[in-house]
Structure 1
Amino acid sequence: MPVKFADRMSTVHRSFIREILKVTEDTSIISFAGGLPNPELFPVSELEAAAVAVLQEAGPQSLQYSTTEGYLPLRKYIAARYKEKKGIEVDADEIIITTGSQQCLDLLGKVFIDAGDKVIIERPGYLGAIQSFSMFQAEFITVGLEDDGPDLKELEAALDQDNVKMFYAVTNFQNPSGLTYSDAKRAAVAKLMKGRDTIFVEDDPYGELRFKGESHPPVVRGYLDEGGILLGSFSKVAAPGFRLGWIVCGGETRDKLIIAKQASDLHTSTFNQHLVYRYVTDNVLDDHIEKIRARYGKQRDVMVESIKKYFPAEVKVTEPEGGMFLWVTLPESSSAMDFFDEAIKNKVAFVPGRPFYVDGSGENTLRLNFSNSDEERIVEGIKRLGTGLKNFIAKA
């Protein structure tokens, strides 16, 4: 007898990136596909010491059930860091600790999105958000990205439509494009959002990974009188395996999100919260982030210079000042999906761009990750891609 699944499952597919990562389990393949932090930078010894200290000093408490909102000292630390580093006032009571920032998206979908509700996302957009919001049968409106942020005319037109529940944006070193909103665009977005029922959700997992240029105001929330939801994560500045993220919001929204999280998992791992808090209090997190910035900056530079040396001139590439990704645009007649098959034969992997577009466009785009490869493999991998691209484009 056939199994009858919920209607929502017909609108959601396997993550294309997760499927590609299965291919790259072959260690002979140079992978620029996953959005993975560099494991050589994980603070293993410091975390080991923190784990021992937590178990010795707060063993039973750290292994017990906890509050849905999360470990209060950790929430106070996050709030204080927002004030110190980003110049915005956040109360610890506005913060909910989540099981990774991906859970933030799931909870927001549960609380806000009914089938057919409209959600604005960037074009190209973050694949994890597309997949999560699709689970709730959202209708997507896409807004194109310019070099300094969203196309404001497209954004205003999208916001003027009926029943637009949410605008989801990654404003710093966006995944997948690597682009960052300028000061002017941040202010303009905030101005467009004011006075509307549409919720602004700003995801900022990469904001502290800047290694070039002048620092921008880190969050659009700083321009808003009130409102706006901010998402954060320890995955890129500590280690992703802890699955520790957070939502910043207040009022009734916070209450609804807590109810949704209680129904989802009761609370995020108590031990992991204690462990990360002990790590950030026993060590200087900024010192660790500086190591990440230095390494990623070198890897980014090597990839950019290798692309200039080996890629055909007609291929365009972004040069972000931080984050983890470069965005590549091939000639319009080229298919990155088709080129992916050729690249795998040459033992190199990337992510074709089409899955980042909900409107079916982006066929000639692809994403490269530079954070999870050493410099030697970056040079070799880009050289292989360059040789393949020249042959591929010539045949097109």
Structure 2
Amino acid sequence: MAADPPLPAARLAAVASSPVREILALTAQGDVISLAGGLPSPDTFPADEIRAAFAEALAGDGARRALQYSTTEGHPGLRAAHARRLTARGLPTAGEELLVCTGSQQALGLVCDVLLEPGDTVLVEDPTYLAALQRFGMAGAHVVGVPCDDDGLLPDALETAVREHRPKLLYTMPNFQNPSGRTLPASRRDAIARIAADLGLWILEDDPYGELRYEGSALPPIAALDDAADRTIHISSLSKVLAPGLRLGYTRMPEALRAQLIVAKQAADLHTSTIDQEAAAGAMARLDLDAHLHTVRALYGERRDALLAGLHDALPEGSTWNRPAGGMFVWARLPEGWDATQLLRAAIERGVAFVPGAPFQVGTDPDPRTLRFSFVTHTPDELAEGLRRLGAAAQR
């Protein structure tokens, strides 16, 4: 009788499947209005420009370059274009400081590969991005949640956690956070930078939504602050400004980690798809990206307002929710005694879905009353119908 093969790595036992992906699979069939997934609206994809850019990349002798292996660091023109955008947003950046990745999710994984040993502690906002929790679990890290309020991470709580747990890394989404939609004020960004400098801490600043602001003034990235400049890895993505199917993200590398991150990228996949980089660089050259983003913001802002306008009638009396200044998500809390997972079951029966908030939370006692709505994928009329269905589920 043949011997059994060895077991999978033990660290995988602590990494759960994403409930968002499971809910999306449920809602892919039938007439379900999904307020669950963090998907950009296909209405915003600049398909004509991307189509033309692919055609141009594959025309003539250019196809030889577009279909060949490439450098690990990425397409020089694409890196330069993104560096200019970061610089315009208050984070002076040269193309040589950027590493093109296969989505910002890979960027997050490369940081884990370079910085984390099994058992190292990572601090995260509580709640936080699900896929980040998965990736930290894959690295064998010990994840500790830092308490937040309506303005995000609490600096005093962060300092206490750093002194108590001696973490290697803080993971934060300062702009329109997933799942909560919260944005860190400038004073808290300054405090985080000071704590990291005083107590010795790396910061991973994840900013996929920063250009999706609908009101108010933009705030400087944490990486732009003097106390944090040498210890902040800034990652971002083209998924929310062009199209997620391109799977293109970036890491802005501090000098101290540059060589290690490039080696980690080489070991992961040699380099990100050459043809996708060529096409993205061509699309960004063809497209007035600022004008495109102005259109996207107007569309998403209208949809945010439509969702907020209907929540009062859709959720049970005593519920609360926030009003994000940008991004893709609204965070809500049901009254005492309610359970968002139970409400989800009734909601799916009526053809609408959202994501319960408990899986985004860290620790053993998540709040079962919390939930996340994504508003960008549906028109105001579709949102109104989805909320009507949700109200019927809540009344039951």
> What interval of TM-score do these two structures reach, taking the shorter chain for normalisation?
over 0.9
Q: State the distance in 1 between where 2:153 and 2:395 align.
A: 32
Deviations 1:214-246 (A, max 9, x none): 213241112234221100100000000000000
1:243-272: CA deviation from partner (whole Å, max 9, x where unpaired): 000000132311111111111111000111
Q: How does 1:1-396 map to 2 (within 5 A)?
A: 1=4, 3-56=6-59, 58-84=62-88, 86-212=89-215, 214-225=216-227, 226-227=229-230, 228-360=232-364, 361-391=366-396
In structure 1, distance between residues paired with 2:226 and 2:333: 34
**2: CA distance, partners of 1:363 / 1:106:** 29
Displacement of 1:3 after TM fit?
4.8
Indicate the RMSD between aligned Cα atoms, in angstroms. 1.3
In structure 2, C-alpha distance between the alignment counterparts of 1:155 and 1:235, rounded to whole Å: 30
Give the Cα–Cα distance (whole angstroms) in 2 for the partners of residues 335 and 3 of structure 1: 40
Distance in structure 2 (CA, Å) of the matches to 1:87 and 1:328: 32
Per the TM alignment, residue 20 of structure 1 is displaced from its structure 2 partner at its CA by 1.0
Aligned to 1:125, what secondary structure does the other structure show? coil
Any idea what the Cα deviations from partners look like across 1:84-109, whole Å, max 9, x if unmatched?
2x122112111000000000111111
Could you tell me which runs of 5 or more consecutive residues in structure 1 were left unpaired when the two chains were aligned: 392-396
Partners in 1 of 2:304 and 2:156 — Cα distance?
32
Q: Which portions of structure 1, spanning 4 or more consecutive aligned residues, are displaced by more than 4 angstroms?
A: none
CA contact (8 A) 2:175 2:182 kept: yes
Could you tell me how far 1:2 is from its partner in structure 2?
A: 6.1
The residue type equivalent to 2:56 in the other structure is: A
TM-score with structure 1 setting the length: 0.95
Partners of 2:6 and 2:20 in 1: how far apart?
A: 27
SS in 1 for 2:372: strand
Deviates more, 1:239-248 or 1:304-313: 304-313
Question: What SS class does the counterpart of residue 235 from structure 2 fall into?
Answer: strand
More displaced, 337-346 or 303-312? 303-312
Matches of 1:249 and 1:389, distance apart in 2: 47
Provide the TM-score with structure 2 as the length reference. 0.95
Residues of 2 paired with 1:312 and 1:23: CA distance?
24
Q: Identity of counterpart residues, as a percentage? A: 40
8 Å Cα contact 1:183-1:216 kept in structure 2: no
Task: Output the CA distance in 2 between the equivalents of 1:185 and 1:345.
Answer: 42
Match of 1:394 in 2: none
Shift of 1:130: 0.4
* Partners of 1:209 and 1:322 within 8 A in 2: yes
- Single out whichever of 309-318 and 106-115 deviates more from structure 2: 309-318
**Does the Cα contact within 8 Å between 1:329 and 1:364 map onto a contact in 2?**
yes
Distance 2:136 2:28 in 1: 28
Q: Structure 2: 5+ residue runs without aligned partners?
A: none
